[in-house]
Amino acid sequence: MAEFSIGVDLGGTNLRAAAIDRDGNVLRKTSGGTKLSAGREAVIDDIVASIVKLRDRLGADGLVGAGIGVPGFIVIEKGLVVGSPNLPGFEDFPVRDEIESRLNAPVILENDANAAALGEKWMGAGRGVNDLVLLTLGTGIGGGVISGGKVLHGFVGMAGEVGHITVNPAGNPCGCGNRGCLEKHASATAVVATARMLGLGDQITSEGVYRLALKGNESAKRVFESMGSALGIALANLVNIFNFPLYLLSGGVLPAWDYFAPTMFRELETRSFTYKKTRTRIDKAILGNEAGLFGAAYLPLQAKDQAHK
């Protein structure tokens, strides 16, 4: 029977899973609530249940394996989660081995942002590109680096923390201990904070700022100009460091592209010789929330292909 893989995206409120074939066709999906705060056992039960549900419908024979995107740092070789306040009780527990033994199929754990980057590479805006960086502009800013077609992990799976690139050494304080982190100047949260400083109201949301910009509100436009500028500084650093052909942006702030992109590109032109001299593309990601599911599902397929090389 045709091979398929199951991708799981463990989010803060929803646990989603999809069975996807080698051509990227989504065969079947499932989604349910999950409470990370219920602790490790409950979360693992939920993950296993969602995989089993899909597997039983499609037939265990075709299952290559399961990939699981989780909101934490992963020591890939060991299948361990480290340093993740969002995952109570997971620290140093052999999550992968536990799930693998219950499923009797190969399981790969991956950081959720890395999985999203891999998903865009496989079936999204990065199709056919082997080297790219994805930045997800949400409450914070996450990121994933794909190098040579594979996720760049770093030695404890913490690579791609692009939200903490310093864009201004004297900038806004960040929970990580730094000042001027990209995510304090270009996330949805930062958009709201800047809008409040500019007098757009204490109840304003990032969507609200966007709607005001659409109506021509000058302060709202300046919010996105400031955000684009911070993003451009960080992207210029990434372009200078990686010289990759593609950098993708995703997340809730993406609709405001027309308002933040001009200052973003201006900073890139000024701050990166490499950007000016090469055909570097900065573009929108296209898979949205599905990127993580695709990337997670791709992991076991990719691992199998490499083992057979």
Give the x-and-dash track for 9-48 against its own copies (CB under 8 A): ----------------------------------------
Nearest CB to its own copies, comparing residues 16 and 164 = 164
- Long-range residue pairs from 89-93, CB within 8 A, at least 24 positions apart, any chain: 89/39, 89/40, 89/41, 90/40, 90/43, 93/40
Residue 207, classed as helix, strand or coil, is helix
CB 253 within 8 A of CB 190: no
- What is the DSSP-derived secondary structure letter of residue 306? H
Nearest CB to its own copies, comparing residues 14 and 243 = 243
Distance of closest approach, residue 30 Cβ to its own copies, in angstroms: 33
Among 25-33, 50-58, 90-98, 177-185, the segment contacting its own copies (CB under 8 A) = 177-185
Residue 16, classed as helix, strand or coil, is strand
Q: Does 154 sit near its own copies (CB under 8 A)? A: yes
Q: Does 157 sit near its own copies (CB under 8 A)? A: yes
Write the DSSP string, 33-57.
Answer: E--GGG-HHHHHHHHHHHHHHHHHH
In degrees and rounded to multiples of 5, residue 169 shows phi and psi of -60, -20
Nearest CB to its own copies, comparing residues 31 and 178 = 178
Nearest CB to its own copies, comparing residues 87 and 103 = 87
Distance of closest approach, residue 178 Cβ to its own copies, in angstroms: 4
- What is the DSSP-derived secondary structure letter of residue 28? E
Residue 264, classed as helix, strand or coil, is helix
Residue 186, classed as helix, strand or coil, is helix
CB 218 within 8 A of CB 181: no
- What is the DSSP-derived secondary structure letter of residue 289? G
Q: What residue ranges in 112-166 does DSSP mark as E strands?
A: 132-137, 141-147, 150-151
Of residues 144, 272, 285, 302, which one binds its own copies by CB under 8 A? 272
Distance of closest approach, residue 170 Cβ to its own copies, in angstroms: 9
Nearest CB to its own copies, comparing residues 18 and 174 = 174
DSSP H/E element including 293: helix 291-307
Q: Does 173 sit near its own copies (CB under 8 A)? A: no
Q: What is the CA radius of gyration of the chain?
A: 20
Distance of closest approach, residue 74 Cβ to its own copies, in angstroms: 11
Of residues 107, 165, 223, 301, which one binds its own copies by CB under 8 A? 165
The size of the interface with its own copies (CB under 8 A), counted in residues, is 45
Distance of closest approach, residue 221 Cβ to its own copies, in angstroms: 20
Q: Does 241 sit near its own copies (CB under 8 A)? A: yes
* Chain residues in the site for its own copies (CB under 8 A): 83, 131, 145, 147-148, 152-162, 164-169, 176-179, 233, 236-238, 240-245, 269-274, 276-278
